[in-house]
Amino acid sequence: MKILLFGGFLGSGKTTIIRAFIDAVLAGEMGTVAIIENEIGEVGVDDVLLREGSVKITPLFGGCVCCEITGNLIVAVDEIYKQVDPGWLIIELTGVAELLNVKELLEKYSRIGLEIATIAVVDGSRWARLQIIGDFIRNQVMGCDLIILNKADLCTDTEPVVDSLIEVTGVSDVMLMGANHDRIAESDQILRKLFHLQCDCHDHDEHEHGHDGDGHDHEHGHDGDGHDHEDHEHDDHDHDDHDGHDHDHDHDHEDRVVGAYSVTCTVHPEAARDRAALVERLATFFADAGELLSRDDIIYGHVKGILQESEDSFVRFSLTRRGEPDILLSDAWTAAADSLPGPLSLTMNNNSMIHTESEIADLLAPCVKRHAALFADIQ
């Protein structure tokens, strides 16, 4: 079982990129896929985006995966291996976890031998301003095997961002991705390089991972096969200390407390009669929320939500900067555009490094009240 461990700050686009990796594995017939998806808070939003055929998803909610629920993660990995034994296990870490810590804990405490590759996803459009958070934002990308500089199309100049990432991490393998990229093809390329897989149907010789066009020739810094993992003997591990804190890494959360506030509402039947108008009105609602939680035009966290009719029919909203949210409509939602929707619910997650949970709730209260006509359970 090959493990892909994805980390990166809140709103960096991990879920979108993971979807591309799933598609690459399935399209390339490289095996089956299981996913462990971790979100801060008590309500999940992104797991619905990752459903693909027989892909198995194990959600973990509640907190930072490298602390509060480390034991749950390790148990989940071992159980997936025993019960499903997929070719690939993709783990999406919460946006405040540190890749290196989680990788070390998995290698130390999991009861199975692991082949792990770590990928840090960086929002290129926010990287410079997120430095206000301090060492935390930089520690999130340390120890990775490869960096995906995401949202490259939103960067005025990617070269300074790439230079900064190389300086901070020492990792020279930086891959650009964005809305104008073929994410599936690039994900296929990354998988084959990280795990030294052979491919008879693609010729990647002219598409090495480097940051093309910026004067950098970034080669991957793997030693040997990039995975120096010892086989773990089952009897050598004591799982009694899987409380998330009795490990060898020092984890001080004073510098990285994240405010997390979630709410789920039922859409008013009158508001749901016109699907297109409802999406536009909710876009305004999310834009207003982002206005309240942003500072210096960006959100030091993530505002996101899912408008859901069924497991396959949904609209996803995502906001990491002031302005209109990114909107993703599922195929089933689009196909049903001319029909009356069934009961609709909206789940909204708000995470911020500069606001507490109560502060987020207080800030959003007048916004929710202004848009109360959208919801049946808000007066």
Q: Is residue 316 part of a domain?
A: yes
238 and 267 both lie in a single domain:
no
Comparison of pLDDT for 106 and 199, the residue scoring more: 106
Tokens of 83: 């019960």
**Residues 209 and 135 grouped into a single domain:** yes
Asked whether residue 202 is domain-assigned, the answer is yes
**Residue 281 included in any domain:** yes
Q: What confidence score (pLDDT) does residue 60 get?
A: 64
| 85: three-class secondary structure by DSSP | coil
Torsion-angle region of residue 244: left (phi > 0), alpha (psi -120 to 50) or beta?
A: left
Does one domain contain both 249 and 262?
no
198: confidence class by pLDDT, cuts 50, 70, 90: low
In the chain, % of residues over pLDDT 70: 75
Which residue would you say has higher pLDDT here, 178 or 206?
178
CATH code of 203's domain: 3.40.50.300
pLDDT mean over 206-219: 42
The reply to whether 89 and 113 lie within a common domain is: yes
- Is the pLDDT at 66 greater than 50? The verdict is no
Instruction: Evaluate whether residue 15 is within a structural domain.
Output: yes
Residue 53 CA from chain centroid, whole number: 20
Instruction: Kindly state whether residue 177 falls inside one of the protein's structural domains.
Output: yes
Take residue 333 and report the two structure tokens written for it: 């939602």
Give the count of domains, the chain.
2
Distance of CA 177 to the CA centre of its chain: 14
Contact 220, 172 (CB under 8 A): yes
- Main-chain phi, psi angles of 95, to 5 degrees: -70, 10
State residue 109 phi and psi, 5-degree precision.
Answer: -110, -15
CB 81 within 8 A of CB 112: yes
Closest CA to 76 of 52, 41, 102, 53: 102
Per-residue pLDDT tens for 87-133?
A: 999 998 888 888 888 888 888 887 777 789 999 999 999 999 999 88
- Per-residue pLDDT of 173-189, as tens digits, reads 899 999 889 999 999 99
Pure H helices in 156-244: 158-169, 183-194
pLDDT of 240 strictly over 60: no
| pLDDT, tens digit (0-9, with 9 covering 90-100), for 148-161 | 999 999 998 999 99
Please choose, from the candidates 95, 19, 18, the residue with its C-alpha nearest in 3D space to the C-alpha of residue 330. 19
Task: List the one residue out of 94, 89, 78, 96 whose CA is nearest residue 46.
Answer: 94
Looking at the structure, tell me whether residues 248 and 192 fall in a common domain: yes
Neighbours of 139 (CB within 10 A): 16
Asked if residue 197 and residue 330 are part of one domain, the reply reads no
Q: What residues contact 341, with CB distance under 8 A and at least 6 apart? A: 272, 275, 309, 313
- Write down the pLDDT at residue 316: 94
Assigned domain for 379 exists? no
Answer yes or no: do 110 and 217 share one domain. Answer: yes
89, containing H or E segment:
strand 88-92
Alpha-carbon distance 74 to 137, whole Å?
Answer: 24
Range of the domain at 333: 258-374
**Contact between 14 and 6 (Cβ < 8 Å):** yes
| Strands annotated E in 201-311 | 259-266, 298-308
Instruction: Identify whether residues 274 and 242 lie together within a single domain.
Output: no
Q: What is the mean pLDDT of residues 287-294?
A: 96
Predicted confidence band of residue 51 (pLDDT cuts 50, 70, 90): low
Same domain assignment for residues 69 and 205: yes
Report the alpha-carbon distance of residue 216 to residue 239 in Å, rounded. Answer: 45
Which residue from 133, 68, 96, 70 is spatially nearest to 11, judged by alpha carbons? 96
Give domain status of residue 329, yes or no: yes
**Residue 20 backbone dihedrals phi, psi, to 5 degrees:** -65, -40
Q: Which pLDDT score, from 0 to 100, does residue 217 have?
A: 42
Same domain, 115 and 88: yes
Whether the CB-CB separation of 45 and 349 falls below 8 Å is answered with yes
Dihedral-angle region of residue 284 (phi above 0 means left; psi in -120 to 50 means alpha; beta otherwise): alpha
The helix/strand/coil state of 40 is coil
CA triple 67-37-367, angle to 5 deg: 90
Is residue 170 domain-shared with residue 26, that is, in the same domain? yes
My answer on whether 50 and 172 are in the same domain is: yes
Is residue 306, in this structure, part of any structural domain at all? Answer: yes
Element holding 284 (H helix, E strand): helix 275-293
